[in-house]
Amino acid sequence: MKKISKGFLFRFPRIASIVFILFISMFAADIFGNGYTFRQTVVGLFMHLIPTWILLIVLILSRKKCPLIGAIGFWGFGLRYTFRCIAKFITTTGTPGIPTPYYMLTRPLIIALPAIAVGLCFFFNRRHNRKK
Protein backbone atom coordinates (compact mmCIF):
# COMPACT_ATOMS: atom_id res chain seq x y z
CA MET A 1 0.00 0.00 0.00
CA LYS A 2 2.80 2.42 0.83
CA LYS A 3 4.51 1.80 -2.52
CA ILE A 4 1.31 2.70 -4.37
CA SER A 5 0.87 5.94 -2.43
CA LYS A 6 4.56 6.82 -2.85
CA GLY A 7 4.36 6.28 -6.61
CA PHE A 8 1.10 8.20 -6.77
CA LEU A 9 2.60 11.15 -4.90
CA PHE A 10 5.56 11.15 -7.26
CA ARG A 11 3.70 10.77 -10.55
CA PHE A 12 0.50 12.71 -9.99
CA PRO A 13 2.01 16.23 -9.99
CA ARG A 14 3.93 15.47 -13.16
CA ILE A 15 0.92 13.99 -14.96
CA ALA A 16 -1.30 16.85 -13.78
CA SER A 17 1.25 19.40 -14.98
CA ILE A 18 1.44 17.75 -18.42
CA VAL A 19 -2.36 17.82 -18.68
CA PHE A 20 -2.40 21.47 -17.58
CA ILE A 21 0.32 22.39 -20.10
CA LEU A 22 -1.69 20.71 -22.86
CA PHE A 23 -4.77 22.63 -21.70
CA ILE A 24 -2.89 25.95 -21.85
CA SER A 25 -1.47 25.04 -25.28
CA MET A 26 -4.97 24.48 -26.60
CA PHE A 27 -5.64 28.23 -26.43
CA ALA A 28 -2.93 28.83 -29.05
CA ALA A 29 -5.15 27.27 -31.70
CA ASP A 30 -7.13 30.50 -32.04
CA ILE A 31 -4.34 31.88 -34.26
CA PHE A 32 -5.36 29.62 -37.14
CA GLY A 33 -8.08 30.61 -39.59
CA ASN A 34 -7.75 34.36 -39.12
CA GLY A 35 -6.37 35.08 -42.57
CA TYR A 36 -2.78 35.66 -41.48
CA THR A 37 0.16 34.91 -43.73
CA PHE A 38 2.37 31.93 -42.92
CA ARG A 39 4.98 34.12 -41.24
CA GLN A 40 2.39 35.96 -39.15
CA THR A 41 0.85 32.63 -38.12
CA VAL A 42 4.22 31.23 -37.02
CA VAL A 43 5.06 34.37 -35.03
CA GLY A 44 1.59 34.43 -33.47
CA LEU A 45 1.78 30.75 -32.58
CA PHE A 46 5.18 31.27 -30.96
CA MET A 47 3.81 34.20 -28.94
CA HIS A 48 0.77 32.21 -27.84
CA LEU A 49 2.95 29.30 -26.71
CA ILE A 50 5.34 31.30 -24.49
CA PRO A 51 3.52 30.24 -21.27
CA THR A 52 3.71 26.64 -22.48
CA TRP A 53 7.48 26.84 -22.98
CA ILE A 54 7.95 28.42 -19.55
CA LEU A 55 5.85 25.75 -17.83
CA LEU A 56 7.69 23.00 -19.72
CA ILE A 57 11.00 24.38 -18.46
CA VAL A 58 9.60 24.44 -14.91
CA LEU A 59 8.42 20.84 -15.30
CA ILE A 60 11.81 19.69 -16.59
CA LEU A 61 13.65 21.46 -13.76
CA SER A 62 11.38 19.92 -11.15
CA ARG A 63 11.55 16.46 -12.70
CA LYS A 64 13.34 14.54 -9.98
CA LYS A 65 15.63 16.62 -7.84
CA CYS A 66 13.59 19.58 -6.68
CA PRO A 67 9.79 19.54 -6.74
CA LEU A 68 9.88 22.91 -5.00
CA ILE A 69 10.76 24.49 -8.36
CA GLY A 70 7.51 23.05 -9.75
CA ALA A 71 5.52 24.32 -6.79
CA ILE A 72 6.91 27.84 -7.02
CA GLY A 73 6.69 27.92 -10.82
CA PHE A 74 3.05 26.84 -11.03
CA TRP A 75 2.03 29.03 -8.07
CA GLY A 76 3.78 31.98 -9.69
CA PHE A 77 2.03 31.33 -13.00
CA GLY A 78 -1.39 31.12 -11.33
CA LEU A 79 -0.92 34.18 -9.14
CA ARG A 80 0.53 36.28 -11.96
CA TYR A 81 -2.41 35.43 -14.20
CA THR A 82 -4.88 36.25 -11.42
CA PHE A 83 -3.26 39.62 -10.70
CA ARG A 84 -3.14 40.50 -14.40
CA CYS A 85 -6.87 39.73 -14.76
CA ILE A 86 -7.70 41.82 -11.71
CA ALA A 87 -5.56 44.72 -12.97
CA LYS A 88 -7.21 44.55 -16.39
CA PHE A 89 -10.63 44.49 -14.72
CA ILE A 90 -9.79 47.60 -12.67
CA THR A 91 -8.39 49.55 -15.62
CA THR A 92 -11.18 48.68 -18.06
CA THR A 93 -14.27 48.86 -15.86
CA GLY A 94 -16.93 50.88 -17.60
CA THR A 95 -15.20 50.86 -20.98
CA PRO A 96 -17.60 50.03 -23.82
CA GLY A 97 -16.84 46.83 -25.68
CA ILE A 98 -15.09 45.15 -22.74
CA PRO A 99 -16.62 41.89 -21.40
CA THR A 100 -18.75 42.00 -18.29
CA PRO A 101 -17.08 42.05 -14.87
CA TYR A 102 -18.38 38.55 -14.16
CA TYR A 103 -16.50 37.21 -17.17
CA MET A 104 -13.34 39.15 -16.37
CA LEU A 105 -13.22 37.98 -12.75
CA THR A 106 -14.06 34.30 -13.38
CA ARG A 107 -11.32 33.75 -15.96
CA PRO A 108 -8.69 33.18 -13.25
CA LEU A 109 -10.79 30.31 -11.89
CA ILE A 110 -10.45 28.46 -15.18
CA ILE A 111 -6.72 28.96 -15.70
CA ALA A 112 -5.09 29.97 -12.40
CA LEU A 113 -6.88 27.59 -10.06
CA PRO A 114 -5.63 24.41 -11.79
CA ALA A 115 -2.09 25.87 -11.89
CA ILE A 116 -2.19 26.56 -8.17
CA ALA A 117 -3.53 23.03 -7.55
CA VAL A 118 -0.65 21.52 -9.55
CA GLY A 119 1.76 23.65 -7.50
CA LEU A 120 0.20 22.27 -4.32
CA CYS A 121 0.71 18.73 -5.62
CA PHE A 122 4.40 19.45 -6.19
CA PHE A 123 4.63 20.97 -2.71
CA PHE A 124 3.07 17.92 -1.05
CA ASN A 125 5.41 15.69 -3.03
CA ARG A 126 8.36 17.67 -1.72
CA ARG A 127 7.05 17.52 1.83
CA HIS A 128 6.59 13.78 1.58
CA ASN A 129 10.13 13.30 0.24
CA ARG A 130 11.58 15.55 2.94
CA LYS A 131 10.08 13.49 5.77
CA LYS A 132 12.08 10.46 4.66
The residues spanned by each domain of the chain are 2-131
Which ranges of the chain have pLDDT less than 70?
A: 1-6, 9, 93-102, 129-132
**CA-CA distances (angstroms) from residue 71 to 10, 115, 121, 125?**
13, 9, 7, 9
Orientation of helix 2-26 relative to helix 67-92, angle to 10°: 40
Cα 48 to Cα 15: distance, rounded to the nearest angstrom: 22
pTM: 0.82
Quick: pLDDT tens for 17-36: 999 999 999 988 888 888 88
DSSP 31: G
